[in-house]
Amino acid sequence: MKTKIAVVGLGIGQAHLKYYSQIPEIEIVGAVDVNPDILKQVSEKFGVKTFSSVDELLKKTRPDGVSICTPPATHLKLTQTFAKRGIHILCEKPMAPEVSDCEKMIDVCERNDVFLMIGFKKRFSPTYRFLKENFEKDFGLPKWIFARFALGRVEKQWFWDEKDGGGPIVENTVHMIDLLHFLCGRVKTVYAEGGNLFMPSFAPQIDTAIFTLRFENDAIAGVGAGYASEWGFAKEQITFATEKVVCEVSGGFDNPRNIQYIYRNNPSVVGEKYFEQPDGFFEEIRHFADCIRNNVRPIVGGEEGLYALKICKAVKKSAIERKPVSVQGIS
Ligand SMILES: NC(=O)c1ccc[n+]([C@@H]2O[C@H](COP(=O)([O-])OP(=O)(O)OC[C@H]3O[C@@H](n4cnc5c(N)ncnc54)[C@H](O)[C@@H]3O)[C@@H](O)[C@H]2O)c1
């Protein structure tokens, strides 16, 4: 029997539909949006049943799992609705605007015994999987990390709203923060310089920041993020230095195709890896589908979503207060 999936919110939700439709074991039972024009487009493009509300969807069908792809302020309520009906959840990042929302999402999913996966696609990128494996097996853990992750212009109102997307640092940098948590471990303190440098119409929302992270294992990272680039030119570049190796990841934003690395004891030989499909999106979707099918907990869940949000909040707090902030103290 096929696994029945629904998608709610059809902006990036259309990428979810595209990837689900490539998995033979999946049956897409519904796509939901409040915008009738989008429903019409999606119905024509994907040939799936569309619904103008979640209530309508749930009256007609009972999915095994759902992708929640609406703006973050809606994630808590939708998670509660689906979890209480025993429907597994893949929720887009950022998990929610507030720490307390994330805690409620974790709680309702645990109480109803459903999976809550968060859409941190970078954890599924073959580029970063290569690094994760090699940091553990050969390279050693990074002690010094320097990342460039500046995005292009986004003008959606919800993206900038403190009570919704939380601006570029929460909505977008959360991807890099979760990646660094995944690769380098838990973060102790954050120090940020940031502000509203480029988008006065959304002031006082912080649009850009440069910040440092001190990890619990005493590794250090520097990150440049926010609206400091333009689409088409935006890059994703990270250098990781371990005791044994220095490696550099590079590529377009969200397309980290190249890795170059040297062993410190033989720096004239440069190792190279190239990844044709560096984006982890399809693998993320397939993982969720496999977890439902095999009743196995997803490798990235609510706890990671909550933790990444806390670090984003620490970055913003530090930029506002202009002093180091402990992640543990964020609530
Ligand atoms: N993983 C990624 O790479 C990635 C990329 C883009 C966006 N996102 C995340 O996905 C989420 C959505 O972002 P987006 O760019 O698609 O936003 P968007 O504004 O383009 O689309 C959101 C859609 O949700 C619909 N919607 C809003 N509330 C709804 C509700 N209650 N029920 C049904 N539909 C509703 C809107 O009509 C809209 O069509 C955000 O959390 C965002 O951060 C993730």
Q: Tens digit of pLDDT for each residue in 67-94?
A: 999 999 999 999 999 999 999 999 999 9
Ligand 1 atom at minimum distance from 72 CA: 41
Atom 33 (ligand 1): residue with closest C-alpha? Answer: 33
Q: How far is the CA of 62 from the centre of ligand 1 (A)?
A: 22
DSSP 158-227: HHH-TTTT-HHHHHTHHHHHHHHHHHH--EEEEEEEEE-SS-GGGTTS--EEEEEEEETTS-EEEEEEES
Q: How far is the CA of 157 from the centre of ligand 1 (A)?
A: 12
Q: What are the Cα distances from residue 251, in Å, to 236, 245, 316?
A: 6, 20, 27
226 lines ligand 1 (CB under 6 A): no
pLDDT tens profile 198-246: 999 999 999 999 999 999 999 999 999 999 999 999 999 999 999 999 9
How far apart CA 65 and CA 299 sit, in angstroms, is 16
What pLDDT, on the 0 to 100 scale, is given for residue 110?
Answer: 98
Q: Where in the chain is the domain with CATH 3.40.50.720?
A: 3-120+282-299
Q: How far is the CA of 159 from the centre of ligand 1 (A)?
A: 10
The residues near 154 (Cβ < 8 Å, ≥ 6 apart) are 168, 171, 172, 227
Kindly state the average pLDDT of the residues 152-160.
97
Q: Is 265 exposed, middle or buried (0-12, 13-18, 19+ CB in 10 A)?
A: exposed
Domain 3-120+282-299: homologous superfamily in CATH: NAD(P)-binding Rossmann-like Domain (3.40.50.720)
Q: How far is the CA of 108 from the centre of ligand 1 (A)?
A: 22
Q: Which residues of 98-134 are buried (b: 16+ CB within 10 A; e: fewer)?
A: bbebbebbbebbeebebbbbbbbbbbbbbbbbbbbeb
Atom 5 (ligand 1): residue with closest C-alpha? Answer: 12
Distance of CA 202 to the CA centre of its chain: 23
12 lines ligand 1 (CB under 6 A): yes
Q: How far is the CA of 185 from the centre of ligand 1 (A)?
A: 29
Percent of the chain whose predicted confidence (pLDDT) is above 70: 100
Helix axes 173-184, 302-321, angle to 10 degrees: 110
CA nearest neighbour of 78 among 60, 96, 103: 96
Q: How far is the CA of 168 from the centre of ligand 1 (A)?
A: 15
The residues near 268 (Cβ < 8 Å, ≥ 6 apart) are 262
pLDDT tens profile 280-331: 999 999 999 999 999 999 999 999 999 999 999 999 999 999 999 999 999 9
Q: Where in the chain is the domain with CATH 3.30.360.10?
A: 122-279+309-329
Helix axes 13-20, 281-294, angle to 10 degrees: 60
Q: Which residues of 138-169 are buried (b: 16+ CB within 10 A; e: fewer)?
A: ebeebbebebbbbbeebeeebbbbeebbbbbb
8 Å CB contact between 308 and 187: no
Tell me the CATH number of domain 122-279+309-329, given options 2.40.50.1070, 3.40.50.300, 3.30.360.10, 3.40.30.10: 3.30.360.10
pLDDT tens profile 163-188: 999 999 999 999 999 999 999 999 99
Q: How far is the CA of 263 from the centre of ligand 1 (A)?
A: 43
Mutation probe of ligand 1 site: the residue of 70, 175, 281 with most atoms within 8 A of C-beta: 70
17 lines ligand 1 (CB under 6 A): no
Kindly state the average pLDDT of the residues 51-74.
98
Q: What are the Cα distances from residue 27, in Å, to 62, 283, 298?
A: 12, 17, 20
What pLDDT, on the 0 to 100 scale, is given for residue 251?
Answer: 97
pLDDT tens profile 107-125: 999 999 999 999 999 999 9
Number of C-beta neighbours around residue 195 at 10 A: 16
Ligand 1 atom at minimum distance from 119 CA: 1
